[in-house]
Amino acid sequence: MNKHFSSDEPKRGKGKKSHHTKGRQLDEDEASLAEVDALIGEGERKRDLLIEYLHLIQDKYSCLEARHMRALAETMKISMAEVYEVASFYDHFDIVKEGEAKPAPVTIRVCDSLSCMMAGAETLISN
């Protein structure tokens, strides 16, 4: 049985257009959005530059806070999930959850693979 919708019923499925960015909405003041916009600068927000934008935020604030990732998602018009997936995939991004302390100003990462251990990484880790 086919159901027909009248024109006053909301559309469902592929034809429905969202009036807001996908994912969690920016709930802080506009300061986070202004900070991200100032870092990225003028011009088109290109999806293929997402990693570069994340690096800009990390370099400026020493970590990636949820508020900045939400602002980045908002300004790029992509989902927060997409920003988080990219940021969490790479070990060199320090993601700080709401309420957590920021990481130390200097982070030293030591590879713990077999070849690095054979080259003395274990000694570095123990010091």
Residue 9 lies in a domain: no
pTM above 0.75, yes or no: no
Q: Is there a contact between 26 and 34 (Cβ–Cβ < 8 Å)?
A: no
105 has pLDDT over 90? no
Domains: count for the chain: 1
Whether residue 16 is contained in a domain is answered as no
Q: What is the pLDDT of residue 8?
A: 52
- 15 CB-side CA count, 13 A: 4
| H or E element, residue 125 | helix 121-126
Has residue 94 got a pLDDT over 60? yes
Predicted confidence (pLDDT) per residue in 18-47, tens digit: 545 555 454 455 889 999 999 998 888 899
At 87, the amino acid letter reads A
Q: What is the CATH number of the domain that holds 38?
A: 1.10.10.1590
